[in-house]
Amino acid sequence: MSIRPFSTNEIENLRMVLEKNGWQIKASVENNFRYSLKKNKVIIFTIKFPVAFPLRINVPLEIVNFRLSLAFKIWDLNQSTNKLILYLLKMLRDLAIQISIEHSFLVEGKEKAIVDLLNLIIPESSKGENENTWKNKIRISLMTKRDEFQEQEQSIVNELLPTVNKSGLFPTFKLPWELRTGVPKIRTSETLFFSNDEPIDEFFIIEKGFLTYFKDLDYKKFYIRSGFDSYTPYIIYRLLNSTDVNLELLIDNWIKFARMMLNSMIEIIELAEINQHDLIQFNVERELQNNEFEEDTNNFPFTALHYESMIKKGELYQIHNDLFNSPPTNFEVLETINLYTEAEELIKNYRFDDATELLNQSLKVFNKNRQKKIVVSILLKLYHIASLLNRDEIALNYLTTALGIAKSGEVPIEYIMKIHYKLGKFFFLRKNLPQALNHFSVIVSFLEKEEQSIKKEEYVGLATLYMGLIHDEQSQLALAKSEYKKALQLAISSKKVKLNYYLLRAKQHKDKGNLSQSQKLLKAGIDAVGIEFDDKKYQLTFFDLVLELTEFYIHQRVDSRKALFLLKSLEHRVPLNMKEISGIKRGIRWNLLMSDYFDMLVKNSKNASYYYKQGQILINQLKKIGAMN
């Protein structure tokens, strides 16, 4: 059944009733009773319970700001729903009047220090200013003055952790529904979340200089939120701490009060004579997050972080939870993620020494905080750098260290399989076949027992392929044939396995002098995916297939037409993949093969010289950064 939207007349009459009873649509700092209306008949009532600062100052400063909100949707305005609206208006105002939440702070003798601190962090305000705008100005000011409070930051977190945990909220990877699209980049490294396993949101959020708590409840078609936020933890911690008042005790009481307010709202709903058929169960995220409210004013008490994300121009970012094995409990861990991501950028720009330094710095922090997952990730990055620079012994050390940490627990199985695979390849390329076979066997024996695992077919397929190659080298032909058969079957569902199956087997036959068999495998590999294959994830392996076959037609079974066709097929694709060292190496090989083609088959020394020089330019680039001997 479709809902008839409010008419203009209905909205005007409803607003007149609400404002006559002391409710305002404007969310100014001074307005404690707020409402919002949507034409599709969503109604929001929000009460604000501020605790004023104990000193008279020229700005609307509050120690803490409690908010209690009720959102609901009606089918129509009629006698029953009008009665419900009037009842809620009265009961909510009565609740606000009955509650006393005054705080007693000892400020005598501290007035000057407090005023100096307020002048440092509190910006100018104007009468009637929107509260979200005002609060965001304070948050920006806190952000620009963070160096002033660096010593207090972790002390505040350490002091609050026992209280927050005692309230049933623990470090979490969960995010409030209103923040799932992301947050401004700067906030990703300075926001700690605490929650529980309940299906509906309850969160305590610690930012630098800003605290937020809220608990939601979906009750009898009403959506309720009770919570608070405070931009004064620095002030409380630095100047108002005493034996009677401290931040830990305040937060404990504030959480209890917010939860009590939620219970009060439930009592109000229970006492109402509500006909449930008058109300509509609505999609909270869809209805409350869009801005189709009268006067574009949505007074649902979203977090300040949500408001900042809404007004942020540009991309929003996800918090890097994917790199942690346990939710962070301090800002140091979050901030160190920045070193990790910066190192990733340095690697892309071939600044390997700088990247290594940052990765080693971050390694110390994550080790100290027992974040094993990212420790393993860093060791794999360091291995990658060492292998690019042909530092085999160092690369092996990083891999074996990573495997030891990964096997000690708290690291996903995918990481362990990745390390075994890299170790298997490392030993295979250096002809240590027993060691290589051991690592590939671990992958197969473990993953074959797993019903579901990320990249199971890929890892098992590649491992069985290498096991086949090893058995082939050891002249165990029956075992090799069996492994090849398994790998080829898994290649049906994995492009990576398919391309490597033909490439690696062809290269092995080439090394043994079986050139005809090598050619057949290379041609079959290209035919299996098509000469126009453009899957970027596996394009370099495809290039290797084409370049190997090109070399065959230039150096072994001479066929200038086929050689030129293959080279031309990569002419415009190879340069697009030369942002990384692996792509540059393919570029070198392509240029040198073009040089050989013109020198040996076409007898054009000018073109041969040109492509040879292009290859040398790329070789010198790699030598300059230490990626080629």
Look at residue 129 and tell me whether its pLDDT is greater than 90: no
- Which whole number is the average pLDDT over 219-246? 82
d(CA 76, CA 400): 68
d(CA 395, CA 386): 5
593-607 tens-digit pLDDT: 999 999 999 999 999
341-400 tens-digit pLDDT: 899 999 999 999 999 999 999 999 999 999 999 999 999 999 999 999 999 999 999 999
* Long-range pairs of 501-504 with CB within 8 A, sequence gap ≥ 24: 501/461, 501/465, 501/525, 502/528, 502/545, 503/541, 503/544, 503/545, 503/548, 504/465, 504/466, 504/469
Whole-number pLDDT of residue 319 = 76
Look at residue 1 and tell me whether its pLDDT is greater than 80: no
pLDDT tier at 277 (50, 70, 90 boundaries)?
very high
- Does 223 reside within a domain? yes
Question: Domain total for the chain?
Answer: 2
- Does 229 reside within a domain? yes
Look at residue 454 and tell me whether its pLDDT is greater than 90: no
d(CA 572, CA 574): 6
Whole-number pLDDT of residue 628 = 82
Whole-number pLDDT of residue 178 = 94
Single-letter residue type at 50: P
- Which whole number is the average pLDDT over 107-119? 77
Look at residue 548 and tell me whether its pLDDT is greater than 80: yes
- Looking at 265, 291, 311, which one is the last position of a domain? 311
Whole-number pLDDT of residue 223 = 97
Look at residue 244 and tell me whether its pLDDT is greater than 70: no
CB 375 within 8 A of CB 366: yes
Look at residue 243 and tell me whether its pLDDT is greater than 60: no
d(CA 354, CA 279): 61
Q: Which domain holds residue 573?
A: 515-629
Look at residue 172 and tell me whether its pLDDT is greater than 90: yes
Look at residue 262 and tell me whether its pLDDT is greater than 70: yes
- Which whole number is the average pLDDT over 571-594? 94
DSSP element (H, E) containing 433 = helix 433-447
Whole-number pLDDT of residue 487 = 96
Whole-number pLDDT of residue 53 = 77
pLDDT tier at 303 (50, 70, 90 boundaries)?
very high
Kind of pairing between the strands at 42-52 and 33-37: antiparallel
Kind of pairing between the strands at 202-207 and 210-219: antiparallel
d(CA 482, CA 468): 8
- Looking at 268, 285, 311, which one is the last position of a domain? 311
Whole-number pLDDT of residue 241 = 61
- Does 29 reside within a domain? yes
Whole-number pLDDT of residue 51 = 87
Whole-number pLDDT of residue 240 = 61
- Does 372 reside within a domain? no
CB 148 within 8 A of CB 235: no
Which of residues 7 and 60 earns the better pLDDT score? Answer: 7
- Which whole number is the average pLDDT over 34-55? 91
395-429 tens-digit pLDDT: 999 999 999 999 988 898 999 999 999 999 999 99
- Does 270 reside within a domain? yes
- Looking at 281, 311, 341, which one is the last position of a domain? 311
- Does 148 reside within a domain? yes
Look at residue 588 and tell me whether its pLDDT is greater than 60: yes
Single-letter residue type at 378: I
Judged by DSSP in three states, 485 sits in helix
- Which whole number is the average pLDDT over 297-318? 89
**pTM score of the predicted model:** 0.84
What are the CA-CA distances from residue 531 to residues 417, 485, 542 (Å)?
32, 25, 9
State the virtual CA torsion across 459, 462, 466, 467 in degrees, nearest 10.
Answer: 60
Look at residue 125 and tell me whether its pLDDT is greater than 90: no
For the chain, what percent of residues have pLDDT higher than 90?
A: 72
Give the number of other CB atoms < 10 A from CB of residue 302.
22
- Does 397 reside within a domain? no
Q: Which positions ≥6 away from 347 have C-beta within 8 Å? A: 355, 381, 384, 385
d(CA 50, CA 47): 10
